[in-house]
Amino acid sequence: MTTVQLNPLFIQKARQIKLLLTDVDGVMTDGTLSFFTDAQGVTREIKNFESLDGMGLLYLAYCGLQTGIVSKGASNTLEFWAKELGMRYLFYNMPVKHRVLDWLLQKYQLVPEEIAFIGDDLIDLGLLQRVGLPLAVANSVPEAKAAALYISSRRGGQAAVRDIAEQILRARGQWDRVVADNASGAFQNPQHELCIVKGL
């Protein structure tokens, strides 16, 4: 990833967060939707994820930050991927995404300043406008970019999440540990129980 000059406000807010949430289509993927019909006649979705994004999310979890997905849709693929990445939360069927924030604040006594969210479209605005650290990707709509404190130079599905994860860890002074632990072999994939919430 390219080293960027970080905004002091971004650094301040990155040091406060405990949880990074991310949208899926257009952020973790390039937004393309692919479907196939299986032998039983059931239509299923295929998602293509960038491996660098996956590693970035693992690095966040390794450094003690919780991570999670917030999606309008539902997919067994998301559940598999969230578990692979050591995520704590998977929110399915969320047409009003900021209800996720309300749920987290009530259930876990978090405050908005402790939560970051990566979004790219209008459906993400409610959450982007309410969290402490709003983030966007290069292909985000103008309204999402306007709400974001940091906009990755990379597009969704092209390591934008990895870029954001790296900038957060640099701001928190944890990136050098990630590099050193990968070089020494000390890095291990974090494992957490996945909390799945369907519809709020």
At 120-130, the pLDDT tens digits run 999 999 999 99
* 61 DSSP assignment: H
pTM of the complete model: 0.91
What is the token pair recorded at 124? 């993400």
Q: Which of the 8 DSSP states describes residue 18?
A: S
Reported as a single tens digit per residue, the pLDDT across 141-192 is 999 999 999 999 999 999 999 999 999 999 999 999 999 999 999 999 998 8
Q: Please tell me the distance from the alpha carbon of residue 127 to that of residue 91, in angstroms, as a whole number.
A: 13
Instruction: Give residue-wise pLDDT tens across range 45-65.
Output: 667 778 999 999 999 999 999
Cβ partners under 8 Å of residue 28, min gap 6: 22, 47, 49, 50, 53, 69, 156, 157, 161
